[in-house]
A and B are shown apart, each in its own frame.
Chain A
Amino acid sequence: MRSLLVVFVFGVCAFGQKYNVGKAASADEIKATDQFMAPDGTGLPAGKGTAADGRDIYSRRCARCHGAQGQGDEEGPLVGGKGSLKTAKPLKTVGSFWPYATTIYDYVHRAMPFDNPGLLDANQTYSVVALILHMNGIIGEKDEMNAQTLPKVKMPNRDGFVKDNRPDTGKKKK
């Protein structure tokens, strides 16, 4: 409530604003639009689910495109590829490549199923996220995913990313 009041007062007085264009965003407006979920768990909603809970919704809403076992079908796979990143045919999947488990929630919530994004509620989303993690052998079938447990899941390729250290080319002149 206090932060709401502060926002309100600032909005009206336009304190610190040079042009006074745009209006103060209300807490409700922000809540309705902000659906970002950060790797530390910020933004993850209340709710929970296990891989076992996720089977039904996955088979009805995801399997058509990603395969019954996540092996891929009309669209790319969600499992597999472990040990392939150094080979001539790398397979980048949630299991072999993704550094953060929170990204799966963030992405499924915002963009999947492809033709009906936003269809799943929080429990259903935690459940399919748990199932994808389980299909990749990262968590057990009965491990509950929620706002506390999901950010703690250590992804296999968590340490597989490096900073941009270019230019690594462009010095030589032949």
Chain B
Amino acid sequence: MPKNERRRFLQLSGIVALAGCSQQPGAKTDEEKLPSALGKPIRAYGERSQFETAKRAVPDLKRPQIGSTRTPLAETEGIITPSSLHFERHHAGVPDLDPAKHTLLLHGLVERPLVFTVADLKRLPSASHIYFVECAGNSGGEWKAPGGPNVAASFGLASCSEWTGVPLKILLEEAGLRPAGKWLVAEGADACKMSRSLPIEKALEDCLVAYAQNGEAIRPEQGYPLRLVVPGYEGNVNVKWLRQIKIVDQPNQTKDETSKYTDLLADGTARQFTFVMDAKSVITYPSGGQKLAGPGFQEIRGLAWSGRGVIEKVEVSTDGGKTWTKAALQEPRLPKAFTRFRLPWKWDGTETEITARAVDSAGYTQPSREELTEARGANSQYHYNGVKMWKIGADGSVKNA
């Protein structure tokens, strides 16, 4: 049937149908009634569905090069953070580095100072591990008052990725570490040349010079083309845009290991080189800002991690801390990585408070805020790992308790 005629026929039959069977106007054409209209064509690099909205909230800063965005942990599943949602913390913006020109210099107390191109590093034996990276300042706002309204705001400076790179130990062996070399100082290629000192034992234990994250090149915000990955240690020492490692006999006492990233105690002294991130957990569902549809079945979900090993146990309380139940832990449980926990729960529709606490393989139990402030005061700013309580209202709304 020619096109015009066909349309007229359809219009007519529409009218007939309308008159006969009271079908609504704007009825579907035959084509539209087909179960599968053709979709979008193939494409070279994937994007998420237009209906998905999870994002890192970008604060309004006068200098957007110095600041952070947070992972919306309540909108991620499993243990891997999508690279696009990995939290950011920059001190001088994100440099745009050409991997064909970028190099890593390894020198100082070594027999053979060496320069590696990115291609050189990719030729060496590689390793892949899943590790969390957590900013030492994560949850820092909770020291003064447990005020974070949602998971991102209070716990979002933590993310977990599979990192691939060359073990730093291999590079140190290639260069020939001298016995006097007790520390290293790593430097980034960002505008502030971020630099941090690390004990050599850690470098030999499990550090990676990483070039890949979650199966593809590290994102620019995460250090493209090279970043140091220091498992279980505070985020800032995982130096991004890594361009130099110098082996030294003493820590360099850089600004970010003296003025910043030191933990002020109640007596006015400050702990220095507090590298390890202690065990921590947070319930991501139900959590602040969400709303329960109604009473009945809920799967309580959350994340736990520890810089000292694997998560052995997560206990959940749905009555404000009076009684505790062991949550199921997603396997495999990996050291220094996120561990997903889950607990089926029947909400009876009354107001209550829910919380979780983690225990790690070092036998450490995540403390309460009171326990932390009793030990350190409230001025530490960094390394807050207290439990987080969410309050569920009778209307199903979830708020910071």
Contact = CB atoms under 8 A, between A and B. Distances in A.
Interface of A: 7, 10-11, 15-19, 21-25, 29-30, 33-40, 74, 85-86, 88, 90, 92, 94, 97-100, 102-103, 106-107, 110-111, 114, 117, 160-174
Given A16-B111, A34-B107, A103-B254, A166 B274 contact: yes
Contacts of A29: 105, 115
Nearest to A42: B248
Interface residues of B, number: 71
B184 to A, nearest CB: 11
Nearest to B260: A92
B76 interface: no
B237 to A, nearest CB: 13
Contact of B259 (A17, A22, A40, A92): A92
Given A25-B115, A170-B365, A162 B269 contact: yes
Given A36-B185, A160-B270, A170-B365, A92 B255 contact: no
Interface string B217-261: 000000000000000000000000001101010101111001100
B312 to A, nearest CB: 13
Residue from A11, A16, A22 whose CB has the most chain B CB atoms within 10 Å: A22
Interface string B194-231: 01000000000000000000000000000000000000
B28 to A, nearest CB: 59
22 contacts: A16-B176, A18-B173, A19-B123, A19-B174, A21-B174, A22-B115, A24-B113, A25-B113, A34-B244, A38-B248, A103-B255, A106-B252, A106-B254, A111-B191, A117-B92, A161-B272, A163-B271, A163-B273, A166-B278, A167-B364, A171-B364, A171-B365
B258 A99 contact: yes
Chain A interface, >50% SS class: loop
A37 B120 CA distance: 29
Contact of A25 (B107, B125, B366, B379): B107
B269 A161 contact: yes
B376 interface: yes
B116 interface: yes
B137 to A, nearest CB: 14
Chain B interface, >50% SS class: loop
A21 B276 CA distance: 32
Interface string B278-308: 1100000000000000000000000000000
A86 B267 contact: yes
B101 interface: no
A29 B117 CA distance: 14
A88 B264 CA distance: 11
Given A16-B112, A102-B253, A170 B62 contact: no
A139 B281 CA distance: 48
Nearest to B273: A164
A35 B278 contact: no
Given A21-B120, A39-B253, A103-B259, A161 B114 contact: no
B46 interface: no
A85 B367 CA distance: 25
Contacts of A103: 253-255, 258-259
Contact of A163 (B124, B272, B278): B272
Nearest to B262: A161
